[in-house]
Amino acid sequence: MAGFTDILGSLIQQGMSQSSSSRAGNAMGAGSDSGGILGDLLGSLGKMSSGSQPGNAPTSGGGSLGDLFDSLGKMASGAKAGGTQSGSGNSREPSLDEILANLGVGKGAQQSNTAPGSRQQTTAGGSLGDILGNLGNNKAALGGLGALAGAILGGGKKSAGGAVGGGVLAMLASMAMSALKNSGQSPTRPPSALVEPQTRDDELALENDAEVIVKAMINATKADGKIDNAEVQKIVGKLDDGGLTQEEKDFFVGEANKPMDLDGVIASAGNKPEMAAQIYAASLLAIEVDTAAEQRYMQQLASGLHLHPQVTAHIERTLGVA
């Protein structure tokens, strides 16, 4: 059976379009001034992991992506053990609550910083704060978010496709929730990526979501017409670097060679607004939307998914789509 989370992670790492990585980076705050909320997070992690030792204070933007990946990854792997220690001294990895407090998001931040009847302050240009706030205590998704940050901003370093795919799912799910709330809509239920998986059924639900999103991304690339064989093989060649199995690569080739099926993509949302919003956002990660055919495809997709213009505008703004 193909691992759809692995495929999704590899597609994002290798880049289905020239803007795939930059748009994912925009969603995490990398496209805003001074690194946006991603820079704040790196700074917080750098200070906490170094213990603010004299002479080692982080510069603007804070610690490294290694700090981000290591800290979030260790939180995910050490969640059941009650936390992890770093090094031989007293320094330790920051807790989720500490990260959220430093970013001004999460329950503690809302209680201390939000007056009754006022709106919580948000950061323009990126939504990593929203993502972290929506994730709550889902440390597995936080680990994936760290892997995603390392993949898109880590200077060419490659992370395991499944970990990156989990981060993409968390990013898309949070973006969908924020977009729906921004338009005054109530999701039918929290997306699978925002809920810590407890059972095998939970894990399968996450894989099912990944399958829907992967198929939507592949379908979007056909907006200008069927992908020719040379283009398919070019992408498959990139996927080799992602460590996909032959079965997973065969799945991609099979989907790429199918006729475009916009109705099928729309039906795959299952009339769930939170999935519809994720499909729309994922499609924007797959294509440039710089031709009339692609623009028409996205318009038809939004219409078929019954997405409010405020929802699509929020997603486009978050991804930095012109």
Cβ(120)–Cβ(113) under 8 Å? yes
Determine the pLDDT at residue 2. Answer: 66
Q: Which of 37-51, 88-102, 152-166, 304-318 has the highest mean pLDDT?
A: 304-318
Using CA atoms, how far apart are residues 128 and 263, in angstroms rounded to an integer?
A: 32
Determine the pLDDT at residue 238. Answer: 77
Mean pLDDT taken over the chain: 72
Q: Is 142 exposed, middle or buried (0-12, 13-18, 19+ CB in 10 A)?
A: buried
Determine the pLDDT at residue 104. Answer: 47
Radius of gyration of the chain (CA): 19
pLDDT 10s digits, 106-153: 444 433 333 333 333 333 333 555 666 666 556 666 667 777 777 766
Determine the pLDDT at residue 266. Answer: 98
Determine the pLDDT at residue 95. Answer: 55
Using CA atoms, how far apart are residues 37 and 35, in angstroms rounded to an integer?
A: 6
Q: Is it the case that residue 231 has pLDDT exceeding 50? A: yes
Determine the pLDDT at residue 39. Answer: 45
Q: Is it the case that residue 72 has pLDDT exceeding 90? A: no
Two tokens at 283?
């499609």
The pTM is what? 0.73
Determine the pLDDT at residue 130. Answer: 64
Two tokens at 188?
């039918």
Determine the pLDDT at residue 12. Answer: 87
Question: Between residues 160 and 90, which one has the greater pLDDT?
Answer: 160
Using CA atoms, how far apart are residues 181 and 183, in angstroms rounded to an integer?
A: 5
Question: Between residues 5 and 97, which one has the greater pLDDT?
Answer: 5
Using CA atoms, how far apart are residues 209 and 217, in angstroms rounded to an integer?
A: 12
Looking at residue 315, the DSSP 8-state letter turns out to be H
Determine the pLDDT at residue 135. Answer: 62
Neighbours of 157 (CB within 10 A): 12
Q: Is 59 exposed, middle or buried (0-12, 13-18, 19+ CB in 10 A)?
A: exposed
Using CA atoms, how far apart are residues 178 and 127, in angstroms rounded to an integer?
A: 9
Q: Is it the case that residue 58 has pLDDT exceeding 60? A: no
Note down the domain range covering 71. 4-112+119-319
Using CA atoms, how far apart are residues 101 and 44, in angstroms rounded to an integer?
A: 10
Alpha-carbon dihedral of residues 179, 167, 79, 243, nearest 10 degrees?
170
Using CA atoms, how far apart are residues 6 and 162, in angstroms rounded to an integer?
A: 4
Using CA atoms, how far apart are residues 131 and 129, in angstroms rounded to an integer?
A: 5
Q: Which amino acid is at 219?
A: N
Two tokens at 142?
């936080």
Using CA atoms, how far apart are residues 221 and 19, in angstroms rounded to an integer?
A: 13
- Count of domains forming the chain: 1
pLDDT 10s digits, 145-199: 777 777 766 644 555 667 788 889 988 998 898 899 889 987 777 888 888 888 9
pLDDT 10s digits, 240-299: 776 788 899 999 999 999 999 999 999 999 999 999 999 999 999 999 999 999 999 999
